[in-house]
Amino acid sequence: MNMEIGMISANKWAGCELNSRVAEDLINSARIYRLFLKFDFGYLQNAQGCYSWGSPPYGQISNRKSDEFYARVTKIVNELETIHRRSKDPYQNKQKNFISEVKDNSTAEISKIKNEIYSNFTAEITKIKNETADELSAHGTKITNELSTRLSEINSTFTAELGRINNELNNKLNEEVNAGFGKINTELSAKLTAEIKKINSRDADYASEAQRILSISKKPAVMILPQLMLLSMLSKRINSILCNCQKKSASQNQQPSSKSSSSSGPITFKGISLTIWTQFNDIFDKIKADKNFNLEEMYFRVAMEIRELRFKGFMREISRRKIVYISTLDDIGLWVDSKNNGILDSNVE
């Protein structure tokens, strides 16, 4: 710029003559400005790395450079016009035409340069936008893929962990349930075993009791007929004895009766048979009336009580006396003695 201004000043000192030399200088000046403009555009392109696309500095830089260039060219043109107005060269019109041509060329060149600047700037911005969009898309795709991979890994890990936890819980639950069931089973088995033992023991007791009852129920049935027959025979024998006693009563005194009645001790069957029979009839009739038994039931009861007396120690005296045969009269005497002495009072009650 200083060189161009120096050229213009030199032309002023040359008497304001515009010749071919001046024209060449003007053309060279225009070329130099063009070079400066290209230099400025390259500087503008290099400055793009310092800012993000779409930010205000790009528009500000381009407008500032274009305005400064236009101002410089306009100033040069104005100075040239001033020189031509002061010039008295006969080629003034030619010089004016040349200056006008230079001005037009400069304006056209400036417009062309501006268009190139804007075109390049727009293309560069579009390129940056596309590259940025591609990078963002690629980065988004990468993030999506990584997220899908991570989610798949998380799902796999979560599923595996959930399965492991479920297995542990199931195993622990099964162990606890099995332990509880085992404990309950052991307790139930012990209780059932004890109950079974009790039941078996009871069954055995029941069986033995049933067997005993069966044997008892059979024995009286077997013993009833012999006892009844014995009682019948005894009745006939006693009746005959009574008849004989009545016949002898006139010639004999009542000594046996007085002895038996005056005895202060327990009545035993050592007395006279008539006394035993009288007592037997009295006790027999009394129990039969109290219990409301018929004759067969009363005979059965007497037979059972006589059988029971055999095991209560009354036979010890007989064994001590070494009596081998026990008659029916002896059995009846035992029964009468038991009633008189209160041994079988419970039966009477």
| pLDDT of 172 over the 80 cut | yes
CB 104 within 8 A of CB 141: no
SS3 state of residue 34: helix
Look-up of token digits 């010089």: 95
pLDDT digits (tens, 9 = 90+) for 242-251: 566 556 554 5
| pLDDT of 321 over the 70 cut | no
| pLDDT of 306 over the 60 cut | yes
pLDDT, average across residues 204-229: 59
Q: What is the pLDDT of residue 316?
A: 56
pLDDT digits (tens, 9 = 90+) for 252-273: 544 444 444 333 344 444 444 6
Alpha carbon distance 349, 347 (integer Å): 5
pLDDT, average across residues 157-179: 86
Alpha carbon distance 181, 195 (integer Å): 20
| pLDDT of 115 over the 60 cut | yes
SS3 state of residue 20: helix
Q: 94 versus 194: which is more confidently predicted?
A: 194
Q: 250 versus 111: which is more confidently predicted?
A: 111
Alpha carbon distance 194, 173 (integer Å): 31
Instruction: Give the pair of three-digit tokens for residue 13.
Output: 């000192």
DSSP letters, 126-150, are HHHHHHHHHHHHHHHHHHHHHHHHH
pLDDT, average across residues 229-233: 61
Per residue in 306-324, is it b (16+ CB within 10 Å) or e — as a string?
beebeeeebeeeeeeeeee
Alpha carbon distance 137, 109 (integer Å): 41
CB 105 within 8 A of CB 29: no
| pLDDT of 2 over the 50 cut | no
| pLDDT of 124 over the 80 cut | yes
Q: What is the pLDDT of residue 16?
A: 44
Window from 193-197, 217-221, 273-277 with minimum mean pLDDT: 217-221
Q: What is the pLDDT of residue 219?
A: 52
Q: What is the pLDDT of residue 347?
A: 44
Mean pLDDT for all residues in the chain: 65
| pLDDT of 209 over the 70 cut | no
pLDDT, average across residues 319-324: 50
| pLDDT of 51 over the 50 cut | no
CB 14 within 8 A of CB 82: no
Alpha carbon distance 180, 200 (integer Å): 29
Window from 36-50, 66-80, 125-139, 169-183 with minimum mean pLDDT: 36-50
Question: 24-28, 52-56, 220-224, 275-279 — which one is most confidently predicted on average?
Answer: 275-279
pLDDT, average across residues 28-51: 52
SS3 state of residue 270: coil
| pLDDT of 284 over the 70 cut | yes
pLDDT, average across residues 173-185: 83
pLDDT, average across residues 299-310: 75
pLDDT, average across residues 25-51: 53
CB 17 within 8 A of CB 83: no
Question: 27-31, 71-75, 108-112, 186-190 — which one is most confidently predicted on average?
Answer: 186-190
Instruction: Give the pair of three-digit tokens for residue 267.
Output: 């009545």
| pLDDT of 117 over the 60 cut | yes
Q: 261 versus 124: which is more confidently predicted?
A: 124
Look-up of token digits 């009650």: 349
pLDDT confidence bin for 178, thresholds 50/70/90 = confident
Look-up of token digits 């004989």: 244
Window from 36-45, 155-164, 166-175, 223-232 with minimum mean pLDDT: 36-45
